[in-house]
């Protein structure tokens, strides 16, 4: 079984592409989704201890409030990553064991290169989109200000560095073309 890392900047189309891979029958691990579940369960007490009880409202994580706290302070973001990433990594190890017979699994994570976990992948796919389009998508999706989107983008590795580290690149300009590019990559991975 091969591990294929899927990454891209915030708003680039990672989730859309991941869902396409899932529909094609490939096991997909969505790091953000797993992380959110862990933050609302087993990691809850660690988060409260580090960031305060106010980041939970009615028993659920207030992601916007936590994001405001961590994306304006590099140390806070690092502290959050030190709590979340080991737990997500442990979940991925369990996921791999359940999918040993698959030709490959897709591991989606926004910070594949930043964490160094790309080194554990057999290949990496980067999905890209224009900064303007990504900003528009995130404002619409998350209901946050442009300045908040830019703050999050500034905490991610530059597009140029991601391009340099990627094995495959998919340009997200037209959704149908994204799928055509992904089909070509699947063919190469299956060789």
What is the average per-residue pLDDT within 6-24?
94
| Cβ atoms 99, 105 nearer than 8 A | yes
75 CA to centre of own chain: 20
Is the predicted pLDDT of residue 19 greater than 90, yes or no? yes
Is the predicted pLDDT of residue 98 greater than 90, yes or no? yes
Q: Are 84 and 43 in contact (CB under 8 A)?
A: yes
Average pLDDT for 172-179:
94
Q: Which of 2-16, 19-33, 115-129, 144-158 has the lowest mean pLDDT?
A: 144-158
Q: In Å, how far are 27, 62, 170 from 72, measured between CA atoms?
A: 35, 16, 30
Helix axes 146-153, 63-70, angle to 10 degrees: 60
Show the tokens assigned to 47: 């988060």
Token pair for 74: 């590099």
Name the pairing type of β-strands 123-128 and 168-171. parallel
Pairing mode, strands 104-108 and 2-7: parallel
Measured distance CA(139)–CA(135) in Å, rounded: 6
Among 45-59, 63-77, 80-94, 174-188, whose mean pLDDT is lowest?
A: 63-77
Query: What pLDDT sits at residue 187?
Result: 95
Question: Domain 2-190 is in which class?
Answer: alpha beta
- Alpha helix (H) ranges present in 24-169? 31-39, 44-51, 63-70, 74-98, 112-115, 131-142, 146-153, 159-165
pLDDT tens sequence across 52-80: 999 999 989 998 889 888 888 889 989 99
Rg from Cα positions in the chain: 17
Does residue 152 carry a pLDDT above 90? no
């Amino acid at each position: 079984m091969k591990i294929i890392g899927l990454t891209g900047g915030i708003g680039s189309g990672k989730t859309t592409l991941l869902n396409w891979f899932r529909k094609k029958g490939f096991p997909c691990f969505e790091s953000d989704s797993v992380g959110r579940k862990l933050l609302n369960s087993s990691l809850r007490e660690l988060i409260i201890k580090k960031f305060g009880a106010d980041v939970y409202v009615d028993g659920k994580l207030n992601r916007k409030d936590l994001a405001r706290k961590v994306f304006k302070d590099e140390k806070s973001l690092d502290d959050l990553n030190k709590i979340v990433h080991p737990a997500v990594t442990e979940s991925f190890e369990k996921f791999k064991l359940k999918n040993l017979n698959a030709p490959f699994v897709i591991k989606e994570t926004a910070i594949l290169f930043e964490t160094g976990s790309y080194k554990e992948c057999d290949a990496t796919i980067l999905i890209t989109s224009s900064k303007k389009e990504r900003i528009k998508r995130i404002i619409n999706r998350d209901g946050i200000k442009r300045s908040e989107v830019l703050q999050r983008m500034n905490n991610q590795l530059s597009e140029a560095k991601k391009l340099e580290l990627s094995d495959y690149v998919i340009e997200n300009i037209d959704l149908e073309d994204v799928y055509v590019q992904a089909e070509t990559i699947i063919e190469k991975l299956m060789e």
